[in-house]
């Protein structure tokens, strides 16, 4: 490995330059030092410094450490939390301070409840604060569904029942309005 030009012609008091000492590091290490190298204090001091430098640069060159999976997952989790923090709906609490829940968390619960009905696949779910200012804890929900082709029409009542129950029992929200939009049919 050659030193860069900034170190060339850097003469030691003994007359040798640093480049020379660098190039002969391995030779001296292997016990093939010449008479000057064995006795010269300047060469010896330079050699010791260069060995330290070489050790450090090798360590850095070999360091292929990537961010730990733990750190990566924490960053991804933080990004997800950041997105979810944007749209929050309030929940009731008698304690001092607010309780809010992200609309995406509510949507996941309601979609899951709708999916529990045979022949139903929940798709998009929108959760919006109800315009009724007298009940700030109520929300409007629009839930898009795909249904099996043999799906009974009265089964939509079961979907409505389960989604409403899940909103109250699992989240603590009251649905002021629940719109079910059947947007597709699939083969069961």
Partner 1 sequence: MTREQAPARQLVETVIAPPVIAAVAAHAAARVPGVVRLEPGLRGLAGSLTRIARQRIKGLEPAPTEGVRAFVEHDPPDVRVEIDLSLSGLDQAAATAQAVQRAVGKAVTEATGLTPSAVSVSILDIEIRGGLL
Residues in 5-44 that interact with partner 1 by CB under 8 A: none
Beta-bridged to residue 145, according to DSSP, are 122, 182
Looking at beta carbons only, is 18 or 143 nearer to partner 1?
A: 143
- For the beta sheet containing 174-186, the strands, ordered from the edge strand earlier in sequence to the opposite edge, are 120-129, 138-148, 174-186
Site map 105..134 versus partner 1, x via CB under 8 A: xx-xx--xx--x------------------
| Non-local CB neighbours of 8 within 8 Å, separated by 6+ positions | 17, 19
Angle at 35 between CA 32 and CA 38, to 5 degrees: 75
At closest approach, how far in Å is the CB of 178 from partner 1?
16
Q: What would the two tokens of residue 101 be?
A: 């829940």
Tell me the residue length of the chain.
188
DSSP E strand stretches across the chain: 88-91, 99-102, 120-129, 138-148, 174-186
58, 123, 170, 177: which one binds partner 1 (CB under 8 A)? 170
Give 77's Cβ-side CA count (13 Å radius): 6
Residues in 40-99 that interact with partner 1 by CB under 8 A: 74-75, 77-82, 84-85, 88, 91-99
Looking at beta carbons only, is 110 or 147 nearer to partner 1?
A: 110
Looking at beta carbons only, is 44 or 90 nearer to partner 1?
A: 90
Looking at beta carbons only, is 171 or 175 nearer to partner 1?
A: 171
Q: Which residues bind partner 1 (CB under 8 A)?
A: 74-75, 77-82, 84-85, 88, 91-102, 104-106, 108-109, 112-113, 116, 162, 165-166, 169-173
């Amino acid at each position: 490995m050659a030193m860069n030009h900034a170190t060339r012609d850097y003469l030691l008091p003994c007359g040798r330059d640093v480049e020379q000492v660098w190039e002969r590091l391995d030779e001296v290490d292997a016990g093939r030092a010449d008479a000057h190298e064995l006795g010269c204090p300047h060469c010896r001091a330079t050699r010791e410094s260069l060995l330290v430098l070489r050790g450090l640069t090798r360590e850095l060159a070999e360091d292929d450490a990537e961010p730990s999976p733990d750190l990566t997952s924490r960053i991804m989790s933080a990004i997800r939390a950041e997105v979810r923090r944007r749209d929050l709906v309030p929940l009731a609490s008698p304690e001092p301070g607010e309780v809010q829940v992200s609309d995406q968390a509510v949507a996941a619960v309601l979609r899951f409840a709708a999916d529990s009905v045979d022949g139903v696949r929940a798709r998009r779910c929108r959760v919006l604060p109800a315009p009724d200012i007298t009940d700030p804890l109520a929300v409007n929900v629009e839930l898009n569904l795909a249904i099996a082709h043999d799906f009974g029409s009265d089964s939509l009542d079961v979907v409505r029942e389960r989604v409403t129950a899940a909103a109250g029992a699992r989240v603590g929200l009251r649905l002021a309005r629940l719109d079910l939009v059947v947007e597709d049919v699939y083969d069961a």
